[in-house]
Amino acid sequence: MITKKSILEAIEIVKKRNPAQPEFLQAVTEVFESVEPAIARRPDYIKNKILQRIAEPERIIIFRVPWMDDRGEIQINRGFRIEMSSAIGPYKGGLRFHPSVYIGILKFLAFEQVFKNALTTCPIGGGKGGSDFDPKGKSDNEVMRFCQSFMTELCRHIGPNTDVPAGDIGVGAREIGYLFGQYKRIRNEFTGVLTGKALAWGGSLIRPEATGYGSVYFSDEMLKTRNDGLKGKVCTVSGSGNVAQYTVEKLNQLGAKVVTLSDSEGMIYDPSGIDEEKLTFVFELKNVRRGRISEYAEKYNNVEYYQGKRPWGIKCDCAFPSATQNEITADDAKTLVKNGCILVSEGANMPTEPDGVRVFIENKILYGPGKAANAGGVATSALEMSQNAMHLSWTRDEVDRRLREIMTEIHRNAYETAKEYDYPNNLVVGANIAGFTKIADAMIEQGLV
Ligand code: NDP
Ligand code: 2IT
């Protein structure tokens, strides 16, 4: 009773203090409500005001990013870095460049990142950053000038033992390169301050693949609990960026068939499956030509393109949302269940609306929440940091083996924690409590800071 009251009060405080940040409130509410059984066992969490402290970023940096476009016109964007929690390691998390970016989106992402990173077994705190800059339609030179201006300010706040950014939506290998170059130039220091770097200058093998591969490994662990596997499963994937591409690659390797991809304009449905050759076309289309997924339907026969649609109306066994937040509504979730979907593994961050999550849980779907299922990306970033610190590089097999082990351990931890707290098979409760208790205990041990 006291526990419930304390949680509701904490949610009220977060709501009052952060008006007009619905995504942040959504993420906080989900975690706070689901950790109730852990707080009920630990009155010291209430006494130490862990909920209030954990939802308040340690530091937020907001800055002007002026740059000049190819026509010589001045452009102004806004840059952010949310340093959410350093309880278990330096701040770690991606940068998102997308016109929808504002402080509420980045705070939700930073908050999720804290628990995700705690689950990885690696010593990394949580952060997130980015800008409302839209890389779409910009020349490489414009992207470079923007990245240089962004890093000119950011470089005073980050460092290999302080805060280590990486990619997210709109930030891939090209952007990380420009950001790294400018950091090195200003600080005169060649160091592992960013992850997702290219191989020749400190990057790790498997980091580009890691989020997608990890989400598939996680789905495999979920299926194993029902003595099932991915072979022969029909899968829908949303998005067509970094996470989606490597999700398709690994699903193909494990004998599944992927029938959809999407972008912000629409989706393609290819009933015969996106095989290796077609995936090679997608890599080139999205990463080199930076085109639209609709071109896939123009290139291949018997493929349908649905403008403005997401893949959730297509019948499938397993769904891999890998585009963005709140891309699965409660109605989408009902449609998936009705069509026989047995598994959802979230490559994206918070892709399912809260009512959709409830539909999955009530229907006993194998549901892997993003902070567990997509943790392979940041975990492999932590492996990149380790390699940088040791000034060496592991082989592809070595990194992939470690990634596989980490995903297995995240699943085991979430699964066992759910059981321990009497919510068997509920990986939302399991992942949230496992991440939360690790952070909360570290905070108490380190005193009131
Ligand atoms: P990319 O920029 O490589 O790709 C994003 C894809 O999602 C594109 O196909 C994009 O379409 C689509 N998309 C983006 N915003 C929207 C939107 N508002 N509505 C519909 N579609 C959208 O990003 P990533 O693949 O890296 O990231 C995808 C998701 O995975 C994000 O939620 C991210 O936070 C999460 N994630 C990423 C990790 C990583 O290591 N990269 C790690 C863990 C999670 P379009 O091209 O039309 O914009
Ligand atoms: O959401 C995420 O976990 C990421 N975008 C990856 C972060 C990282 O530091 O690799």
- How far is Cα 51 from Cα 39, in angstroms, rounded to an integer? 10
Tens of pLDDT, residue by residue over 36-88, are 999 999 999 999 999 999 999 999 999 999 999 999 999 999 999 999 999 99
If you measure from the C-alpha of residue 95 to the centroid of ligand 2, how many angstroms do you get, rounded to a whole number?
Answer: 8
If you measure from the C-alpha of residue 291 to the centroid of ligand 1, how many angstroms do you get, rounded to a whole number?
Answer: 15
Residue whose CA is at the smallest distance from ligand 2 atom 3: 378
- Give the pLDDT of residue 1: 72
Please say if the pLDDT value at position 2 is more than 90.
no
pLDDT confidence band for 235 (50 / 70 / 90): very high
- How far is Cα 213 from Cα 253, in angstroms, rounded to an integer? 10
Q: Is 23 in the pocket of ligand 2 (CB under 6 A)?
A: no
The count of C-alpha atoms lying within 13 angstroms of the C-alpha of 408, restricted to the half-sphere facing its C-beta, is 7
SS3 of residue 430 by DSSP = helix
Tokens found for residue 403? 């990634």
Instruction: Tell me the Cα Rg of the chain.
Output: 21
Tens of pLDDT, residue by residue over 265-321, are 999 999 999 999 999 999 999 999 999 999 999 999 999 999 999 999 999 999 999
CATH class for the region spanning 210-373: alpha beta
**Burial class of residue 56 (count of CB atoms within 10 Å of its CB; 0-12, 13-18, 19+):** middle
Shortest CA distance to 167 belongs to which of 147, 142, 195? 195
Q: Is 166 in the pocket of ligand 2 (CB under 6 A)?
A: yes
Tokens found for residue 361? 């849980």
CATH 3.40.50.300 describes domain 59-189: no
Tens of pLDDT, residue by residue over 312-365, are 999 999 999 999 999 999 999 999 999 999 999 999 999 999 999 999 999 999
If you measure from the C-alpha of residue 322 to the centroid of ligand 1, how many angstroms do you get, rounded to a whole number?
Answer: 6
Q: Which ligand is nearest to the CA of 210?
A: 1
Q: Please state the domain extents for the chain.
A: 2-54, 59-189, 210-373
Which amino acid belongs to residue 179? L
Residues β-bridged to residue 307 = 266
pLDDT confidence band for 132 (50 / 70 / 90): very high
- How far is Cα 118 from Cα 112, in angstroms, rounded to an integer? 10
Q: Catalytic amino acids?
A: 128
Q: Is 377 in the pocket of ligand 2 (CB under 6 A)?
A: yes
- How far is Cα 75 from Cα 67, in angstroms, rounded to an integer? 5
Q: How would DSSP label each residue in 301-347?
A: TT-EEEET--GGGS--SEEE--S-TT-B-HHHHHHHHHTT--EEE--
Looking at every residue in the chain, the average pLDDT score rounds to 98
Query: Cβ distance 277 to 248 under 8 Å?
Result: no
Tens of pLDDT, residue by residue over 252-268, are 999 999 999 999 999 99
